[in-house]
Chains A and B, each alone.
Chain A
Amino acid sequence: MPLGLLHQVGHNANWNIESLQTGCGNGLILSPLHQALPTVEKLSPELRAASLFDPQFYLPNSRKRKLLSYPFFPEQAAGGFATGTFDEHSLSVARACVDFQVEQGFRKVVVPTRYLKEMYPEYFQMQEEFSVNSFLTVAGPRPLCLSLAVKASMIEHASWREMLLNWVTAFHQVDELYLMYDHERDTKQVQDANFLREALRFFRQVLGTGLKLTIGYTNTEGLLFSAIGDPNITMGAFENTRIFSEDKFVESEGAVRGPKARIYLPGLLNWVQFQDALQIRRLAPEVWQQVHMPTEWAEQALSQPVEPTFNQPALYKHYFLCMKAHVDELRVMSLAGRLDMLKRRIAHAQRMYAALEPRVQVERHGRGGHLAPWAEALETF
């Protein structure tokens, strides 16, 4: 399988779907948190066949309405989820969830797991008892995709990483791992060289076992993972599809004041606030030319008399096209070529930020603080 780019579907799933239908991306990871049951059933068979359906049992007592529209979601199926009594329901939940995924014709059946924030000694046993054993029992011999949300520290600790690796390879039916990491930070981009280095090592080990690997909820750091092989990386519109957090199963992004509009500038490998982008275009036009990739969507947003709002699709569809361009460029290269290209892109972005510095004060998250840690991780993994 070549390097893949999947849409991490979130709020306003139509933006991802429309983008995929125009050839941007290789498939969808559907999100019952954001897509009620009837919405998923209305997707075309072709779209479903290109999609993974993530049952999202990460917070099994979530009360989000769309999750509850699925009769097999633990909170719904158990009449109120409780760890102590869920084993009574585990098998029927697994049967209904597997049947649904098979009937809908998704690319592969996904085995859900729970998001456990603590590194319990019984971590793997808890996962097996919660869902894995039941899903393996009812799924039969078909190939399965195991979904797993882990704390960043589980990847950073070598001993935990080894246990994770041993566990995810212990099921003969599982041929794909859909993995996401909860990396707590107060920045939008990962700026943690140690974590990225260990993640690169871990993902290389996973691919080395012969498992396919889909890395979920990646922001643009996902591009770095192309240096270790051909995983699927993901791209999402709203931020909570680009950073994994259990909080997404509590928050309701449609019911809050939306974030400030940002535009992705591929030459900076970063999103910057839309107002800052206008400043760059006006005050540093030669930098703008080197960091901005014109797309139909970006030009539409930039030509509007007023700033786009967070719930207009143009800036997200622009991002999807930029990510496609990044991945298309990397996909055809050897691993050594990708590594070299990534390093050169990072160095270029650093030069662009340096050129901007005297003229445009970019807001904190739009600055280049991610670039040095990324370069370090690529040098040392």
Chain B
Amino acid sequence: MPTDSDRLREELRVCLPSLVLERALAPSGQRVVYLAHFDDSLIPDEVRRAEALKVQELDIDDPDDHPFLLGWEAWGQVVVKVVSDANNDTIMRLEAEVDLLAALRPANFPKLHYANLFRNNPETEEPLDKRLYISIEEFIPGDSLEQIWLQYTGDEQRIARMALGIANALMPLWVHPQRYVHRDIKPPNILIRPNGDVVVIDLGVVRETGAKGLTETGFVAPHTPGFAAPEQYKEERALICFKADFFAIGVVMYQLMSGKNPFWYDPNMDRFDVYVATAKHNPPPLSACAGASQAFSDFVERAMRKVQAERHRTPDIFVSELEALCGLSKN
């Protein structure tokens, strides 16, 4: 797994000379993540000259024909994600997911500005130690749910609306013919825009239902203890479907309502304890421990069932029950 290091930062500078890294952010999936911006004044002269020529000869039939670095300063703050040594199939899958989401729900996912694979150091033309796949995404102003979750504590309506926002954002994945699953819904991956809209980040862990995990491509299959569903801990690839995301949304709702993670309820627990709790422990109903309405409590309890078949059967049912909790039901 790559880590933030002086060497990686130098390789990024060589690949993208006008990139100014501001600070490292929390790793995402198996990627190093930075907050950054571009400074056009740092573009080397030879790049500026080459790109100026390109601008004169842009091919209108060429969807990839955009100047490199020139004008990228206007993107403002960006999120830079770096994967090292991913194989090409993994990269293609990441790109397919991003394309899909950008097409279907642009408001709910960060815009992808740029992505490319770098094999060589552009200054020396020697191979990089490891191939780097670098993506540049829109920086979404707003707070992650992890930062502001206390504002939600005990507020059923607000929690239900936020959960509905997550579900609506993920719906195109769940109903896609290839049955994508996010697999890592948790408060740090949920951003709340200033207007309250929900944005889901960290799409790099999305995969097709039943598809091979990323372990075989050099990654550890990603999941977050305390939010992952029981089937994610097992090597039951075919069983990981949209219901794993239902489970995680249920956990988020439970945590916001009660103030405690239902499976990581004791700070002395280790990861193994959390796995066991996820598989065996039935947390007390929210109606009993957090004063939730029976409907809210039942919804969350069902979403977090250990057996997938007992969770909400379809994404449509899941969303319509959430709408009912929000008072948006047509019935």
Contact = CB atoms under 8 A, between A and B. Distances in A.
Given A246-B88, A251-B116, A36 B53 contact: no
A307 B47 CA distance: 12
Given A65-B64, A256-B118, A256-B122, A250 B54 contact: no
Given A63-B96, A247-B88, A306-B49, A38 B116 contact: no
Interface stretch (B34-42, B55-63, B305-313): B55-63
B68 interface: yes
A151 interface: no
Interface stretch (A127-135, A212-220, A227-235, A257-265): A257-265
B46 A307 contact: yes
Contact of B88 (A59, A186, A256): A59
Given A63-B95, A257-B122, A309 B88 contact: no
B52 to A, nearest CB: 9
B58 to A, nearest CB: 10
Given A36-B63, A39-B62, A365-B125, A255 B88 contact: no
A75 B91 CA distance: 14
The binding surface of chain A is classed by DSSP as loop
Contacts of B47: 257-258
Contacts of A100: none
Given A61-B89, A259-B122, A82 B49 contact: no
Interface in B120-151: 122, 125-127, 131
A64 interface: yes
A255 B122 contact: no
A80 interface: yes
B111 interface: no
Contacts of B95: 63
Contacts of B17: 257
Contacts of A250: 88, 91-92, 117
A173 interface: no
B127 to A, nearest CB: 5
A69 interface: yes
The residue among B49, B62, B127, B131 with the most chain A CB atoms within 10 A of its own CB is B62
A381 interface: no
Given A63-B99, A82-B178, A247 B119 contact: yes
B68 A69 contact: no
Given A80-B177, A250-B91, A36 B46 contact: no
A310 interface: yes
Contacts of A251: 116-119
Interface residues of B, number: 42
A250 B93 CA distance: 11
Contacts of B50: 258, 309-312
Interface string B64-99: 111011000000000000000000110111011001
Contact of A260 (B54, B117, B125, B177): B125
Interface string A297-323: 000000000110111100000000000
A66 B63 CA distance: 7
Contact of B116 (A79, A252, A365): A252
Contacts of A69: 63
Given A61-B96, A250-B117, A311-B54, A256 B68 contact: yes
A59 B93 CA distance: 12
A191 to B, nearest CB: 15
B92 A61 contact: yes
B33 to A, nearest CB: 21
A79 B96 contact: no
Given A82-B208, A250-B88, A252-B116, A309 B49 contact: yes
A311 B53 contact: yes
Nearest to A257: B122
A254 B178 contact: no
Contacts of B66: 254-255
Interface string B223-234: 000000000000
A312 B50 CA distance: 8
A355 to B, nearest CB: 25
Interface in A203-253: 246-247, 249-252
Nearest to B210: A84
A62 interface: yes
B15 interface: yes
Nearest to B91: A250
B265 interface: no
Interface string A50-75: 00000000010111111001000001
A255 B61 CA distance: 16
Nearest to B59: A39
Contacts of B53: 309, 311-312
Interface of A: 36, 38-39, 59, 61-66, 69, 75, 79-80, 82, 186, 246-247, 249-252, 254-260, 306-307, 309-312, 365
Given A59-B92, A61-B93, A63-B95, 7 more contacts: A36-B62, A63-B92, A66-B62, A69-B63, A186-B127, A254-B54, A306-B49
Interface of B: 15-17, 44, 46-47, 49-50, 53-54, 59, 61-66, 68-69, 88-89, 91-93, 95-96, 99, 114, 116-119, 122, 125-127, 131, 176-178, 208, 211
List 10 A-B pairs, minimum CB-CB distance, nearest first.
A309-B50, A65-B63, A63-B95, A257-B122, A61-B92, A38-B61, A250-B117, A36-B61, A39-B61, A251-B117
29 contacts: A36-B61, A61-B92, A61-B96, A62-B92, A63-B99, A64-B64, A66-B62, A69-B63, A75-B92, A80-B176, A82-B178, A82-B208, A186-B127, A246-B88, A247-B88, A249-B88, A251-B117, A252-B116, A254-B54, A254-B64, A254-B65, A255-B68, A256-B122, A257-B47, A257-B122, A259-B122, A259-B125, A309-B46, A310-B50
